[in-house]
Amino acid sequence: MTYPGAPATYRLADALFLIGHDEFTGKPHVAVDRLECGLAGAALAELMFEGRIVLDAGGIAAVDPRLWQEPLTDLLITEILRRGGAHPARLWIRYLRTQLNINERVGTRLVSAGVLRREQGKLIGRAVRWPAVDPNQAASPRVRLTAMLMHSPVTELDPGTLLLASLAEAVGLATHVIDPQVGNRVHECRRMLPAQLDGLLGAVIGALDVSTTTVRR
């Protein structure tokens, strides 16, 4: 299941991953730790859109334990069920970053779909790159998001598009890859988010603050 209003081939985390990487070089447009926070939030949002989890008083809780035969989200729901209770969303975002390697898992999902290639640097310490098989296809989430922000009132955008724009801005992608003409409209997206998605975005921003502090130390 894709996020509301998405191209049929892209889920929310996939769209953010593609916006976050150069389609030719496969390099990320922002620091990987920041992108990872956004991807973790996007992956949790996929479960929320599918009605498999809820965010209640800042905590993530599973409400539908069924597996949907989608490897990444099935893994997440299994982990949430295994740990039980309603743990804070910010802790889940950190867990997805540091323990489940969310960047690698989303990238691998796109490789399996034939959208990207995974290229491992040959020298020790060289980062993985994710160049597109078809650059035009990989650029489509960014092109679509820009077009919707440019031509549709923010009040008419679906929750998935609102959250994608808000996550892109939160991790620092808006100034890199989204047309400056729609910069102000990106800022407006958060105020239109439903309460649960706004809470999830807040948890992502909180995780970003912690991540940035840790890196600076």
3-state secondary structure of 143: helix
Q: Which residues, 6+ apart, have CB-to-CB distance to 7 below 8 Å?
A: 15, 140, 141, 144
Write down the pLDDT at residue 171. Answer: 96
pLDDT digits (tens, 9 = 90+) for 101-136: 999 999 999 999 999 999 987 765 568 999 999 999
Whole-prediction pTM value?
0.91
- Of 199, 200, 177, 174, nearest to 188 by C-alpha is 174
What number does CATH give the domain 12-216?
Answer: 1.10.3630.10
Provide the 8-state DSSP code for 25.
Answer: T
- Of 176, 186, 116, 175, nearest to 148 by C-alpha is 186
pLDDT digits (tens, 9 = 90+) for 56-69: 888 999 999 999 99
Residue spans of the domains in the chain: they are 12-216
pLDDT digits (tens, 9 = 90+) for 11-58: 999 999 999 999 999 999 999 999 999 999 999 999 999 999 999 888
In the chain the first and final C-alpha atoms are separated, in Å, by 40
